[in-house]
Amino acid sequence: MYEIIYKDIQEKKEYESIANEVLTQCFKEEDIEESKMSITIIFTTPENIKEINKKYRNVDKATDVLSFPIYEKDELEEKKKLHNFKYEDVLGDIIISIEKVEKQAIEYGHSFERELSYMIVHGFYHLIGYDHIEEEDKKVMRLKEEKILNDLDIKRN
């Protein structure tokens, strides 16, 4: 279901535990837990995420999370409809700046677990075709994100 890579940061079982819990719920909620779809999560530094952001999005700044999906939303919906999951396949990559997560948890007044969980859920929904550019799309995506976090009892403090 997922692979975790640490790039220039120390490995922590806490990150892996959070990722496992959140992604298991995401896959269940989106009815793809029986699929052979996988995600790569890269935990990294602000410097690395800034470099990736500049290279692939032409945005010269660090951010909290980046997602690089393999499928368009309609392609993935078709696979789901046909239950065409007999082969291993990649949903995409989620790249998270752990330092940004730590700072935002403090800034927003909630736990590190809550902030990292949100970044993973947010990245997941980008991988399966959701976005927040248009206000209507943003509402749909936020509802899905909040449902996952609520189902896991991961609350804002």
Identify the CATH homologous superfamily for domain 2-151: Metalloproteases ("zincins"), catalytic domain (3.40.390.30)
pTM of the model: 0.94
Residue 91: pLDDT band with limits 50, 70, 90 = very high
Least confident of 8-17, 52-61, 66-75, 95-104: 66-75
Least confident of 40-49, 55-64, 112-121, 129-138: 129-138
Is pLDDT above 80 for 87?
Answer: no
Residue 86: pLDDT band with limits 50, 70, 90 = low
Where helices occur in 8-134 by DSSP H, the ranges are 13-29, 46-57, 73-82, 98-108, 112-127
Give residue 85's pLDDT.
65
pLDDT per residue over 97-148, tens digit each?
999 999 999 999 999 999 999 999 999 999 999 998 888 989 999 999 999 9
Is pLDDT above 90 for 54?
Answer: yes
Give residue 82's pLDDT.
67
Return all residues near 66 (Cβ < 8 A) that are at least 6 apart: 49, 52, 53, 56, 57, 94, 95, 123
Return all residues near 54 (Cβ < 8 A) that are at least 6 apart: 60
Residue pointed to by tokens 């509802």: 143
Enter the tokens of residue 70.
């393999």
Is pLDDT above 90 for 77?
Answer: no
Q: How far is the C-alpha of 42 from the C-alpha of 19, rounded, in Å?
A: 11
